[in-house]
Structure 1
Amino acid sequence: MAVARVVIDLMLDREFDYLIPPKFAGQVRPGVRVMVPFGNGGSRSAYVVGLKEKSRFPNLKAIESVTGGRAQIPPSLLRLAQWISEYYCCAIEGAVRAMLPAAVRGGKIKHREEQFACLAAKAEHTGPELGKLTKKQRHTLETLTRLGSVPASELREAAAVGPSVVKKLAEKGWITLEKRVVGRDPFKEDIILPTKPLDLTRHQAEALATIINGVDAGEGNTVLLHGVTGSGKTEVYLQAIDHCLAKGLEAIVLVPEIALTPQTCGRFRARFGEEVSVLHSGLSDGERFDEWTKINEGRTRIVVGARSALFAPFRHLGLIVVDEEHENTYKQDEIPRYNARDVAVVRGRMEKATVVLGTATPALESYYNCELKKYTLTELPERVDDQRMPLMEVVDMAAEASLRGGAQIFSRRLEDLVKERLSNGEQTIFFLNRRGYATQFLCSDCGYVAGCDDCSISYTYHRRDQMLVCHLCGSLLPAPEICPQCGNQEVRYTGLGTEKIEAAANGAFPRAKVARMDSDTMTTKRAYQKTLAEFGAGRINILIGTQMIAKGLHFPNVTLVGIIFADLGLHLPDFRAGERTFQLLTQVAGRAGRGDRPGRVIVQTYTPFHPAIQFAMEHDFKGFYQEEMQARKILEFPPATHMILLHFRGEDEERVSEVATEFSEKLLPLLPPEVQPMGPMPAPVAKIRGKFRFQLTLRGGNVVQLVRLLRPLIVGIKGYKGVEIHADVDPRSLM
């Protein structure tokens, strides 16, 4: 009998050989899910990763059954899973599992069936028998004749009759009732108005030609589309995908977060209709199952979604678009810890598909790859329709505090401009990348600060719910009225969050309609869409939000953006802090002036001369890139070199420290001389969810060789009781 190589659905990081019984000979192939005997009399789910004539192991057990139906992983995605496992230092099983949504992988979700009513042949002949029907039965029959074949529930509703009427018509042979598979439609409540291709600017046409040439060449190239905010990158994506469809190819469009998916999906469905599917974790299990099935069966050729949409089971992939490619959310926090942007480049190379990385603020890694000629750079330096870039203005909040006798939320300049917008019927956006009302509960007597017992951070006060919330683990406490340590009633809530900005805006601008968009208020897709619709219709004057509103939003009536505290995140102990600040300021500023009227951006800061803020004020990415890269090269930080962050986590701080030291002492003598280790040391956030965290940073050297050295020391190793060890290759955060 032939032999199948399988990976068991356990984190063993091993392949096992099983015999293929003759009855399964035509069914067992790479990517198929099977059940195999494993352990003491038990059975386990496994995935076939390869076939061979014979095995070097004697007494092989046989595959018990082939499961999963059509839920198979294409061979191209198996190769990608292997690459992810090797490069990101994770068990092969973890990478393989990522290729299928849990709703598909679990096998518990089935196709939804619904009973449909259809006219029987008898109904085509009107005769004396028709007169024997009751009034309700005749009305129901007339309704079905008008509607055509419809779900029985829809027929009952349209005819205003009960189930017994429909059942009686079926018994008498006037209609037939049959069960049909019905898809769960995530778009069922959306109203889409079709659009046609727009005329392109010269720069857009050049960018499109670069992408199309790559698609036609079929060499798996990568294009960095660097376009300022409002330059029409999405229209370039749409027309490039149209070219793919004409060639019989498929396309994937990645967005950095689920909140952006409905809006992006709407634009693509307006152009391509039923060709578009959506994949992300915000869908119900049934919706994900149905959308994945449609893709797998070739019924749609475009997928829009967050990270996991990258693994859509296309067989004729022509294009992958990674929109807002600089975003950290493309990096997954849990196994497998992959960066969807970088894996998109690898999938494109493997399947000879063109990859487009689109952004107004390229990640330094991507721009550096253009300098190294690994990627092709194409630029959109101007906004469409001759729109001007917004005028940026900085306000020194330290000077403002000095003039007004204390720290302020809104500067006088920002207040005056908001009032001007309100008088003119224009809209304003306030941005602060921190939710909640205040960042600390502080006792002014004993100095007590309420902190989470399971995480080494303070609680954030949420005034609407009167709760203290940990933004790392989600734990909650009722907000105390007195200090729990000394009983003092003089307690203060310090710091800023979007909830406090909302309260301040309602106080400063009482006639304005104010709304807030953050993960506390936008708990459902409907809430998000409703708020955007009201803002788009002009029923909201001031929109306040976190980075949820920093990108992808296009509202022509927004002429003012106020960045409330630009320093937030700028002084974190992370070498990318300046880069993130530049990106965020540029992206938020891009929401202003997207219509006929010019836009203005007020940047409130206590460090007005920081390079990240100064370059953002001038919309000068290249200037920022050159200065930042000079520092990165001197300090040997990415992208001038690669970095790997080793994490050690456990509930016993002393044990974690001990294991981190022991592991490091074993590893350091094995490292090539060009690799610079730093640590081990406590992580900047030393405890999360009850687990203490230590880190060892490795910089320099050949990353592929370094990964090969590390992988056998980390994956599947169980010798360090009570401590988890994992590698974060190319980390996006050092926190």
Structure 2
Amino acid sequence: MPRYARVLVDDSAGKAFDYELPEAVAAVLQPGARVRVPVRTRTALATVIELLEETDVPGVKLISEVVSAEPILSPLLLKLGAWISDYYCCSLEAAMKAVLPNVIRKAEVGHQTRLFARLAREVEEEELEKLRKKAPLQAGVIDHLTEAAQPVSVTELAEKCDASHAVVQALVKKGLIVTEAARVERDPFGDESFVHAAPLAMNPEQTAVFEHVRRAIDHPPDAAPKPLLLHGVTGSGKTEIYLQAIQLVLERGQTAIMLVPEISLTPQTVERFKSRFAATRHEVAVLHSHLSEGERHDEWHKIRDGRARIVIGARSAIFAPCANLGLIVVDEEHENTYKQEETPRYHGRDIAVLRASMEKCAILLGSATPSLESFHNAQTGKYELLRLIARVDDKKMPFIRIIDLRMESKKHGAILSERLITAINDRLTKKEQTILFLNRRGFSTSLICEKCGHVCECPNCSVALTFHRAAARMVCHICGYQAVAPQKCPECRDPGIKYTGTGTEKVEDSVSRLFPKAVIKRLDADVMQRREAFRETLTAFRTGKIDILVGTQMIAKGLHFPNVTLVGIINADLGLHLPDFRAGERTFQLLTQVAGRAGRGDVEGEVFVQSFTPFSPSIQHARHHDFDGFWEQEIEFRRQWDYPPFTHLVLIIVRSAHQQRGSFSAETLHRRLKEELPPGVTLSEPAPAPLEKSHGSYRFHLMMRTRSIVRLSRHLRAVLDKLTFPEDVFVTVDVDAYQLL
């Protein structure tokens, strides 16, 4: 029998400590349980990660309290956390914080209870008439409870019947009603009802793909099936395959996780899933960072208790405590939002593949534009490739036209080209809808003085401030710094300061002036501050109340609007010329995804792509919906320069408020890493980051590439553990980095 427990104390900088087990729980305590342990002069919450029969630590203290003898983390999730720590070169505590949500770690957050009232007995009509005369409020409560025919919360009685606490207590004393406390789930979707939607008939192409998925779900229990990569063009019916595959898993008594790349896509996905599974009473749980603490607490426990067998959410939902997992679906698997940009810098898609392997369950990765890493895995046999090459119901792919802005700007320099304006007019006449896409918020992207050349820049970051006209302020989209927009140049006081560049706010303004009778709405982070704003806008657009929707990448993927027949991409070049080897891939993916919003109904769609570099391979391949052509060209570039997927890329960021101190620390780290560098590792010289200053800190990059990431991670950790940096110098390690700015 184990006598000791190795625990990971919350906020302990990743250090594990040994404690003695109380005799009363020694036989039942399991790894993954939560305990309270003495730490110096206080007690702290901790997670049991291992049980021991012996320990060589002197003076071991006794565990103070067992918060939960049953494991709150399964052995598999503990193993997953340890793997993240090792692979992504971070502390075990940081990894466990990702696996176990903070709201579950905190002991003070619990289940919500509410007081309910119900009839204690049937109230005779004569008795009720007396109440109506002497105590009408009490009679109103009786009427409401009789009509409801089920317990009603005391809060609702106060709202509907104007019944105070005294009114309720009076009825309790008379023996007419009974009150009792009951646990109430904090539902992110409240009282919203979902109309049942039956499964759709699948075409032969979908049916063939579904058979492959069925075989993966039916695999022998002693081995993990090969991951499936579903490459399906936009509108080809990938979601229906996800839904029917999950239904199959539920019929077998198993659970499923559905990952979506962004929180903004979650409401529409949840609506489709709840509508589909409402009749079968399979509960759907939602996990993402925009939930309140109480909602996240209840959703997590709903999953752990087995009441919810379908989990939908962003990347963190991959750590949902599902038992008997049968299927993981990663929708839009190419999206870089699956990559966490703070420690631990894990990739949700890759963790999903690993968890599926550990759980020995099926995993389905879907995208119209697969990442080069996933497609390379399919080409080399690590994944099984499935294809949907046609849209459902034989709908045609949208026709894409390229507008050369070099020619348009010589004509009139307007935001919208003449051909795009004509096309929008045509759609308005036909009562069809239009989406205009620009991946830049604000009104003007910079303010520049024509006389002295001064540009209004953020004092904390190496970027120009963006002018937001509605707020009359300049805003930094990196750190959030704000300032009042100047009337004169801050440098030379000349009044001729000029607003340059275009954001979604300016597009909305321009389109409103061009089409004054059209209903136009903007969908970006600036106007989506309210929690329900995104869902309300999409609902209005779906029901035809909006003619033209202007937005950023929020509207670029995953949304299905049959009446959208025109998509205009205002400037396709914005992300194309960044100093990042993935810039071409991202541009191709974004253009293809945005274009895919058009022509999903009965009318063929049309897409206008405005660009100053119309002959870019990314734009031309997107124009022809030619993923294979883009893949062949891009993979050759990656092979030639030894970039992923042929190597693992590790980005080390050194940042400091003092430029010289940060530079010196980066050079010192580079020198130490170079000593005893593992074979097959390429180490770049330290250099200022493309975005040199961010949030008040100067940033320096060291880039490493290798084919053996585990060996490199261990070498990195050994070097970093031995080095001591100044207090204001911070070093982060990003394994398989996606953002190089």
Question: Normalising by structure 2, what TM-score?
Answer: 0.96
Q: CA deviation at 1:96?
A: 0.8
Partner of 1:644: 650
Give CA-to-partner distance per residue, 1:562-621, whole Å, 9 cap, x none. 000000110000000000000000000000000000000000001111100010000000
Q: Secondary structure at the match of 2:118?
A: strand
CA distance in 2, matches of 1:712, 1:108: 38
Which amino acid letter does the alignment assign opposite residue 110 of structure 1? G
Q: CA deviation at 1:108?
A: 2.1
Report the CA distance shift for 1:435/1:126 in structure 2 as closer, same or farther (over 3 A).
same
Which amino acid letter does the alignment assign opposite residue 205 of structure 1? T
Partner of 2:86: 86
Q: CA deviation at 1:106?
A: 1.6
Q: CA deviation at 1:28?
A: 2.8
Q: Secondary structure at the match of 1:24?
A: coil
Which amino acid letter does the alignment assign opposite residue 643 of structure 1? L
Q: Please say if residues 649 and 737 of structure 2, whose CA atoms lie closer than 8 Å, have aligned partners that are also in contact.
A: yes
Which amino acid letter does the alignment assign opposite residue 323 of structure 1? D
Partner of 1:518: 524
Q: 1:628 aligns with which of 631, 634, 645?
A: 634
Q: Secondary structure at the match of 1:667?
A: helix
Q: CA deviation at 1:266?
A: 0.5
Q: CA deviation at 1:130?
A: 5.8
Q: Please say if residues 29 and 70 of structure 2, whose CA atoms lie closer than 8 Å, have aligned partners that are also in contact.
A: no
Q: Secondary structure at the match of 1:612?
A: helix
Q: Which moved more, 1:203-212 or 1:563-572?
A: 203-212
Q: CA deviation at 1:68?
A: 5.7
Q: Secondary structure at the match of 1:525?
A: coil
Q: Please say if residues 665 and 725 of structure 2, whose CA atoms lie closer than 8 Å, have aligned partners that are also in contact.
A: no
Which amino acid letter does the alignment assign opposite residue 188 of structure 1? G
Which amino acid letter does the alignment assign opposite residue 631 of structure 1? F
Report the CA distance shift for 1:33/1:645 in structure 2 as closer, same or farther (over 3 A).
same
1:650-661 alignment, distance < 5 Å = 650-661=656-667
Q: CA deviation at 1:139?
A: 4.2
Q: 2:597 aligns with which of 591, 597, 617?
A: 591
Q: Secondary structure at the match of 1:209?
A: helix
Q: Secondary structure at the match of 2:308?
A: coil
Partner of 2:4: 3
Q: Please say if residues 675 and 699 of structure 1, whose CA atoms lie closer than 8 Å, have aligned partners that are also in contact.
A: yes
Alignment partner of 1:241 is 2:246: yes
1:222-241 alignment, distance < 5 Å = 222-241=227-246
Partner of 1:422: 428
Give CA-to-partner distance per residue, 1:422-478, whole Å, 9 cap, x none. 111111110001101111110111111011111111111101101000000001001
Q: CA deviation at 1:169?
A: 1.1
Query: How many residue pairs were aligned?
Result: 730
Q: Please say if residues 514 and 541 of structure 1, whose CA atoms lie closer than 8 Å, have aligned partners that are also in contact.
A: yes
Q: Please say if residues 706 and 712 of structure 2, whose CA atoms lie closer than 8 Å, have aligned partners that are also in contact.
A: no
Q: CA deviation at 1:301?
A: 0.2
Report the CA distance shift for 1:2/1:507 in structure 2 as closer, same or farther (over 3 A).
same
1:142-291 alignment, distance < 5 Å = 142-148=143-149, 149-217=151-219, 218=221, 219-220=223-224, 221-273=226-278, 274-291=282-299
Q: CA deviation at 1:10?
A: 2.6
Q: CA deviation at 1:714?
A: 3.0
Q: Please say if residues 13 and 715 of structure 1, whose CA atoms lie closer than 8 Å, have aligned partners that are also in contact.
A: no
Partner of 1:320: 328
Structure 2 residues without counterparts, runs of 5 or longer: none
Q: CA deviation at 1:145?
A: 2.1
Q: Secondary structure at the match of 1:399?
A: helix
Q: CA deviation at 1:158?
A: 4.2
Report the CA distance shift for 1:710/1:168 in structure 2 as closer, same or farther (over 3 A).
same
Give CA-to-partner distance per residue, 1:539-583, whole Å, 9 cap, x none. 211100000000111111111000000001100000000000000
Q: CA deviation at 1:271?
A: 1.0
CA distance in 1, matches of 2:723, 2:152: 57
Which amino acid letter does the alignment assign opposite residue 20 of structure 2? L
CA distance in 1, matches of 2:679, 2:82: 29
Q: Please say if residues 502 and 514 of structure 1, whose CA atoms lie closer than 8 Å, have aligned partners that are also in contact.
A: yes
Q: 2:720 aligns with which of 714, 717, 726?
A: 714
Q: CA deviation at 1:717?
A: 5.7
Which amino acid letter does the alignment assign opposite residue 266 of structure 2? T
Q: 2:496 aligns with which of 484, 490, 499?
A: 490
Which amino acid letter does the alignment assign opposite residue 339 of structure 1? H
Partner of 1:108: 108
Alignment partner of 1:703 is 2:706: no
Q: 1:124 aligns with which of 93, 113, 122?
A: 122
Q: Secondary structure at the match of 1:298?
A: coil
CA distance in 2, matches of 1:513, 1:118: 49
Report the CA distance shift for 1:458/1:412 in structure 2 as closer, same or farther (over 3 A).
same
Q: Which moved more, 1:273-282 or 1:183-192?
A: 183-192
Which amino acid letter does the alignment assign opposite residue 225 of structure 1? L
Q: CA deviation at 1:163?
A: 3.6
Q: Please say if residues 118 and 145 of structure 2, whose CA atoms lie closer than 8 Å, have aligned partners that are also in contact.
A: yes
Q: Secondary structure at the match of 2:532?
A: helix
Q: CA deviation at 1:715?
A: 5.8
Q: Secondary structure at the match of 2:358?
A: helix
Give CA-to-partner distance per residue, 1:102-156, whole Å, 9 cap, x none. 2221222221111111111xx2374976665444234432331221221123234
Q: 1:534 aligns with which of 529, 536, 540?
A: 540
CA distance in 2, matches of 1:527, 1:594: 24
Partner of 1:723: 729
Partner of 2:681: 675
1:178-577 alignment, distance < 5 Å = 178-217=180-219, 218=221, 219-220=223-224, 221-273=226-278, 274-402=282-410, 404-405=411-412, 407-577=413-583
CA distance in 1, matches of 2:76, 2:311: 17
CA distance in 1, matches of 2:557, 2:194: 21
Q: Secondary structure at the match of 2:116?
A: strand
Q: Please say if residues 656 and 693 of structure 1, whose CA atoms lie closer than 8 Å, have aligned partners that are also in contact.
A: yes
Report the CA distance shift for 1:58/1:145 in structure 2 as closer, same or farther (over 3 A).
same
Q: Which moved more, 1:23-32 or 1:519-528?
A: 23-32
Q: Secondary structure at the match of 1:499?
A: helix
CA distance in 2, matches of 1:451, 1:729: 31
CA RMSD of aligned residues (A): 1.7
